[in-house]
Amino acid sequence: MHGHRHDPNPDPPSPDPSFRVLTPDGRIHPMDLAALQTLPSIAVDGCYIVSTGHGTSGPFTFQGARLADLIRRCWGHRPWAQVQVISGDGFGTTLGHAEVDREARPALLAYQVDGRPMTRAEGLVRLIVPDDRDDALRQVKWVGQIRILAPGHP
């Protein structure tokens, strides 16, 4: 996982839009858009995409699955502390339990924007942290891997 690059990245890193969820016990859960869409869907409005060095776009209404619901599907109700969401190009972010598991404006694995499906170029599945305003350091386009980290993980 590496930090955010400042140059634009308009092309998907891979033609394969599937991703995987890694749990603290070492299990790998393959995931794709169809599987993600079996989770409850929510819409969050007033979201912006703030690209480092490239300005702000929005507001948008993103719709998708709560990241917390995906974690519960793959890890159940066992304790966890953080989750890393990593793009297919290696960019990623880490979110804490308190940031993810909240009702109002939750972190979301979005697959629709403004009522239409996102294209692969837009991410197809994209991590949206609705209240992120800090140069998109929490927005992950082209989700490739999600790692659930147990309490006490270094």
- Angle CA(80)–CA(86)–CA(89) in degrees, nearest 5? 170
Q: What is the pLDDT of residue 4?
A: 46
CATH of the domain at 26: 3.90.420.10
Is 138 inside a domain boundary? yes
Span 42-63, average pLDDT: 83
Per the prediction, the chain carries an average pLDDT of 86
pLDDT band for position 25 (50/70/90)? very high
Residue 39 has pLDDT above 70, yes or no: yes
Is 152 inside a domain boundary? no
Is 149 inside a domain boundary? no
Q: What is the pLDDT of residue 89?
A: 84
Q: The domain containing residue 73 runs over which residues?
A: 19-143
Is 84 inside a domain boundary? yes
Is 134 inside a domain boundary? yes
Is 47 inside a domain boundary? yes
At a CB cut-off of 8 Å and minimum separation 6, what does 75 contact?
A: 23, 24, 148
Is 126 inside a domain boundary? yes
Q: pLDDT tens across 5-19, in order?
A: 444 556 666 767 789
Task: Name the domain count of the chain.
Answer: 1
CA distance 104 to 137: 20
Query: Whose CA is closest to 127, among 4, 15, 28, 7?
Result: 4
Is 111 inside a domain boundary? yes
Residue 43 has pLDDT above 50, yes or no: yes
Q: pLDDT tens across 78-135, in order?
A: 999 999 999 988 889 999 988 898 888 999 999 999 999 998 888 889 999 987 665 5
Share of residues in the chain with pLDDT > 90 (%): 55
